[in-house]
């Protein structure tokens, strides 16, 4: 090996290898990819892998990336979903420039291609019901049977198909099927349905059409019209690839499977113990278990954004997962690792008390306020520093005081001394309980010689605790999230119901946060010392609760995940 060669050797994934072979052999000149979601729900973390893969390939090979809505099924599609998807993709940084398309843009061409297939003797109108078509299809070990309508004449098929288009038949009364091979070992090639009657109002074309193309027919035609070179999809479409090529070839867009457009399949992204299925999320929304498709307990992209995840953390996660041919599951802890890693050096580390008790410094002058210097992030000095108001009465975390502590408890207890972060040593002298025996005040004295940064070199203390000044803080609400799913039981029961964790959301009112956050806007994020990373909750740039600040816990500070 040449030790003088310092060039980094980067291994290419199998999709990149295919693309580079196609470029070298002249099957394409400019790489063109696309992301084609159906607008029937919100995108989730699994879609991010496809978005970033398709966009990343276009960028890597100086190609083009198209955004296209596969809106061929008007029964489930809404403009709300269209807008949410556009917002999510833009947030991830995938730029489609001026190439925003809809499958419905191509309905006239799809109809013309269907007519072309009929004229070639490659498609026919079938009167079998959906159940009958399934029965005639055969099994994995037995061939299918020809439809009794398979040998209709071209003229009759053209007339019937035109009548379908004109609305003369009810939903399900007739379909148009491709005429391929009912004995094919690939069931997808056994005369698949390519058009069906559906008297539905489409979100873009209104009532112009009452017949709609099936996905397996529409998708390859959309790719061909747009000049897509590599149609990258997930593994469940692998068995559909022969049909994809058949449609493109028979409709005259290419001559062989090696030419473009070419379908390539990769493994889906599965996260452990999360709910991604659209029908399950819809059920959660409708039953009020979550407060919308962007509830921070979900892994829709809008939910992750609202919770405080960043595009950079999603990109890092997708890179770590990689591109593979075999399906596998990824631990949710890897996603949490990525957001911790992204925020660690970017965000200010501020003090917030989530379960407060009052600490009173008896020997500190009443009414006096002094301002102490505090670094914003010890690991990143470039974030600078801020001033902290310090006064006689403070809030501390309830867990930072114990009346009778166990061994190796180094925080406050009677007679013990600790450092208040960025401030002074304080010694616990006494405490006050309410009528129920609950501690409500801790009384201390402070040593003015021990001011943080003063160079004090006297006695040492083992504990440091954070605090917030009573009269110079923000009273806020904090939402603490746990997994929506009961992890011990898995996502779904045998009967298909979901195992919902009843403790997935804890709302904590009357949390006290240092006043540096008072002007924070939705999605602004911070590290709360010892408590985790948090961001201001909001929707569409607006606060979630009027003028009151509400913080979502993005992720805790500790993780069990280790990056290999």
- Sign of the alpha-carbon dihedral angle for 106, 112, 117, 123: positive
CATH 1.10.3720.10 for domain 278-347+477-555: no
Give bridge partners of residue 241 from the DSSP assignment. none
Confidence at residue 9, expressed as pLDDT on a 0 to 100 scale: 47
Residue with tokens 């009269």: 471
Please enumerate in sequence order all residues whose Cβ is within 8 A of that of 11, keeping only pairs 6 or more positions apart, or say none. Answer: none
Strand 64-69 and strand 32-35: pairing?
Answer: parallel
Q: Which of 505, 527, 495 is nearest to 514 (CA)?
A: 527
Burial of residue 344 (CB within 10 Å: 0-12, 13-18, 19+) is middle
Indicate the pTM of the whole model. Answer: 0.90
How big is the CA angle at 425 (ends 422 and 431), to the nearest 5 degrees? 115
Please enumerate in sequence order all residues whose Cβ is within 8 A of that of 19, keeping only pairs 6 or more positions apart, or say none. Answer: 31, 57, 61, 229, 230
Q: Where are the alpha helices (DSSP H) in 138-264?
A: 154-165, 215-226, 241-250
The whole-number average pLDDT for the span 498-519 is 93
pLDDT for 541 beyond 60 = yes
pLDDT for 6 beyond 60 = no
Confidence at residue 498, expressed as pLDDT on a 0 to 100 scale: 77
Confidence at residue 564, expressed as pLDDT on a 0 to 100 scale: 58
pLDDT for 7 beyond 70 = no
Confidence of residue 485 (pLDDT cuts 50, 70, 90): confident
Confidence at residue 183, expressed as pLDDT on a 0 to 100 scale: 97
- Sign of the alpha-carbon dihedral angle for 544, 545, 549, 554: negative
CA distances 354 to 376, 442, 464, 478, Å, are 20, 17, 17, 8
pLDDT for 561 beyond 80 = no
The whole-number average pLDDT for the span 317-321 is 94
pLDDT for 260 beyond 80 = yes
Helix, strand, coil percentages for the chain (3-state, nearest 5): 30, 25, 45
Please enumerate in sequence order all residues whose Cβ is within 8 A of that of 268, keeping only pairs 6 or more positions apart, or say none. Answer: 46, 49, 234, 235, 236, 327
- Quick count: other Cβ atoms within 10 Å of Cβ 234? 15
Confidence of residue 490 (pLDDT cuts 50, 70, 90): low
Q: Which of 34, 41, 155 is nearest to 100 (CA)?
A: 34
The mean predicted confidence, pLDDT, of the chain is 93
The per-residue pLDDT for range 78-104, each reduced to its tens digit, is 899 999 999 999 999 999 999 999 999
pLDDT for 477 beyond 60 = yes
The whole-number average pLDDT for the span 102-116 is 98
Confidence of residue 1 (pLDDT cuts 50, 70, 90): very low
Question: Coil, helix or strand for 403?
Answer: coil
* 6-15, 212-221, 329-338, 417-426, range with the lowest pLDDT: 6-15
Please enumerate in sequence order all residues whose Cβ is within 8 A of that of 478, keeping only pairs 6 or more positions apart, or say none. Answer: 352, 354, 507, 508, 511, 534, 550, 551, 553
Question: Coil, helix or strand for 21?
Answer: helix
Please enumerate in sequence order all residues whose Cβ is within 8 A of that of 159, keeping only pairs 6 or more positions apart, or say none. Answer: none
| Separation CA 556–CA 259 (nearest Å) | 50
Residue with tokens 């867990």: 399
pLDDT for 560 beyond 70 = no
| Separation CA 516–CA 469 (nearest Å) | 12
Strand 211-213 and strand 269-271: pairing?
Answer: unpaired
Burial of residue 381 (CB within 10 Å: 0-12, 13-18, 19+) is exposed
* 99-108, 115-124, 503-512, 534-543, range with the lowest pLDDT: 534-543
The whole-number average pLDDT for the span 311-331 is 92
* 80-94, 315-329, 365-379, 478-492, range with the lowest pLDDT: 478-492
| Separation CA 282–CA 277 (nearest Å) | 9
| Separation CA 212–CA 457 (nearest Å) | 80
Could you tell me the residue ranges of all domains in the chain?
A: 24-266, 278-347+477-555, 352-466
The whole-number average pLDDT for the span 539-564 is 83
Give bridge partners of residue 550 from the DSSP assignment. 477
Confidence of residue 5 (pLDDT cuts 50, 70, 90): very low
The per-residue pLDDT for range 43-67, each reduced to its tens digit, is 999 999 999 999 999 999 999 999 9
pLDDT for 2 beyond 80 = no
The whole-number average pLDDT for the span 527-538 is 96
* 172-176, 182-186, 432-436, 543-547, range with the lowest pLDDT: 543-547
Choosing among 2.120.10.30, 3.40.50.720, 2.40.240.10, 2.30.130.10, the CATH entry for 352-466 is 2.40.240.10
pLDDT for 144 beyond 90 = yes
Question: Coil, helix or strand for 266?
Answer: strand
| Separation CA 466–CA 52 (nearest Å) | 40
Would you say how long the chain is, in residues?
564
Burial of residue 178 (CB within 10 Å: 0-12, 13-18, 19+) is buried
Please enumerate in sequence order all residues whose Cβ is within 8 A of that of 50, keeping only pairs 6 or more positions apart, or say none. Answer: 35, 232, 233, 234
Q: List the CATH code of the domain at 24-266.
A: 3.40.50.620
Burial of residue 49 (CB within 10 Å: 0-12, 13-18, 19+) is buried
């Amino acid at each position: 090996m040449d030790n003088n060669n310092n060039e980094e050797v980067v291994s290419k994934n199998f999709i990149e290898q295919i693309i580079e072979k196609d470029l070298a052999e002249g099957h394409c000149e400019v790489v063109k990819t696309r992301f084609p979601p159906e607008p029937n729900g919100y995108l989730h973390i699994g879609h991010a892998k496809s978005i970033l893969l398709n966009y990343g390939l276009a960028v890597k090979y100086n190609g083009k990336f198209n955004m296209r809505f596969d809106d061929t099924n008007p029964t489930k599609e809404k403009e709300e979903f269209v807008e949410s998807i556009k917002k999510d993709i833009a947030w991830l940084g995938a730029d489609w420039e001026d190439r925003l398309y809809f499958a419905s843009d191509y309905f006239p061409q799809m109809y013309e291609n269907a007519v072309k297939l009929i004229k070639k003797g490659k498609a026919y109108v079938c009167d079998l019901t959906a159940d009958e078509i399934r029965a005639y299809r055969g099994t994995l070990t037995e061939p299918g049977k020809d439809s009794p309508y398979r040998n209709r004449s071209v003229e009759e098929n053209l007339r019937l198909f035109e009548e379908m288009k004109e609305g003369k038949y009810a939903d399900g009364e007739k379909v148009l099927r491709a005429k391929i091979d009912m004995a094919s070992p690939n069931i997808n090639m056994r005369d698949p349905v390519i058009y069906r009657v559906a008297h539905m109002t489409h979100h873009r074309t209104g009532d112009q059409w009452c017949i709609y193309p099936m996905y397996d027919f529409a998708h390859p035609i959309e790719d061909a019209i747009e000049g897509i070179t590599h149609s990258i999809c997930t593994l469940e479409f692998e068995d559909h690839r022969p049909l994809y090529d058949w449609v493109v070839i028979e409709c005259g867009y290419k001559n062989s499977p090696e030419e473009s457009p070419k379908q390539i399949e990769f493994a889906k992204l599965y996260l452990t113990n999360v709910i991604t299925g659209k029908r399950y999320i819809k059920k959660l929304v409708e039953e009020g278990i979550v407060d919308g498709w962007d509830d921070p307990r979900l892994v829709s992209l809008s939910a992750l954004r609202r919770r405080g995840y960043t595009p950079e953390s999603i990109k890092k996660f997708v890179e770590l997962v990689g591109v593979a041919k075999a399906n596998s599951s990824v631990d949710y802890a890897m996603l949490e690792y990525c957001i911790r890693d992204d925020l660690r050096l970017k965000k200010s580390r501020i003090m917030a008390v989530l379960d407060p008790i009052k600490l009173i410094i008896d020997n500190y002058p009443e009414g006096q306020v002094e301002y102490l210097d505090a670094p914003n992030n010890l690991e990143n000095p470039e974030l600078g520093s801020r001033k902290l108001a310090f006064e006689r009465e403070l809030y501390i975390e309830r867990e930072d005081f114990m009346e009778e502590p166990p061994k190796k408890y180094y925080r406050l207890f009677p007679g013990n001394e600790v450092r208040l972060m960025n401030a002074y040593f304080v010694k616990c002298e006494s405490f006050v309980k309410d009528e129920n025996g609950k501690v409500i005040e801790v009384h201390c004295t402070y040593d003015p010689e021990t001011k943080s940064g003063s160079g004090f070199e006297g006695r040492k203390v083992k504990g440091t605790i954070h605090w917030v000044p009573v009269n110079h803080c923000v009273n806020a609400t904090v939402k603490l999230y746990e997994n929506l799913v009961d992890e011990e039981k898995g996502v779904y029961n045998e009967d298909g119901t979901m195992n919902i964790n009843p403790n997935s959301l804890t709302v904590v009112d009357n949390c006290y946060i240092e006043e540096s956050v008072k002007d924070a806007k939705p999605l602004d994020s911070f590290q709360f010392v010892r408590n985790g990373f948090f961001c201001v909750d909001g929707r569409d740039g607006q606060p979630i609760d009027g003028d009151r600040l509400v913080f979502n816990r993005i992720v805790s500070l500790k993780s069990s995940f280790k990056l290999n």
